[in-house]
Amino acid sequence: MRLFILAVGHARGTAEGTLCEDYVGRAKAFGKRVGISTVTVEEVAVSKLREARARIAEEGERLAARIPDGAHVIFLDAKGKGMTSEAFAEMLAAMRDAGARDLVFLIGGPDGLDPGPSVKASRSLAFGPQIWPHLLVRSMLSEQLYRAMTILGHHPYHRA
């Protein structure tokens, strides 16, 4: 299964970007052991439109255009469902075992996420009820992906 993080905003040169790159690198190296062939991060620019709804819509269109055909999509959203790391790992394993080819995580920009009516999410995931900065969410997601892989691979990284 291939994993994609599609996100609004450029993280290169930021502390969050460095952290994300580190965990994505770890996930890429470990993933093949647990049936994850690759982890890819793709970015789209933050919209320069003045009105927030228009910005969100434009960013959402750009994200939607990058979703592979037939992919399962998960929105990162403060209104989504929280999961333990173990449940997150189980969800990835279930999708992999069911034959999912592509799993896409969508992360909106500073104003939020709305990829439009053409994109249907399998679920919406939250890292707690707080609203987190979009670059930090990307780092948190990449760490949780790596953690999930180590859980599935019975590696000692996850010590719960």
| Digit-coded pLDDT (tens) for 15-24 | 999 999 999 9
What's the N-to-C CA distance of the chain in angstroms? 26
> What total number of domains does the chain contain?
1
Residue 124: Cβ within 10 Å count: 16
In a domain, 120, yes or no: yes
Q: How high is the pLDDT of residue 135?
A: 92
Residues of the chain by 3-state class (helix, strand, coil), percent to 5: 40, 20, 40
In a domain, 159, yes or no: no
In a domain, 31, yes or no: yes
Q: What is the pTM of this model?
A: 0.94
Q: How high is the pLDDT of residue 117?
A: 84
Q: For residue 69, what is the domain's CATH number? A: 3.40.1280.10
In a domain, 23, yes or no: yes
Question: What is the span of the domain harbouring residue 90?
Answer: 2-152
Please state, in angstroms and rounded to a whole number, the distance separating the CA atoms of residues 16 and 19. Answer: 5
Least trusted range by pLDDT, from 7-11, 51-55, 77-81: 77-81
Contact status, residue 124 vs residue 83, Cβ threshold 8 Å: no
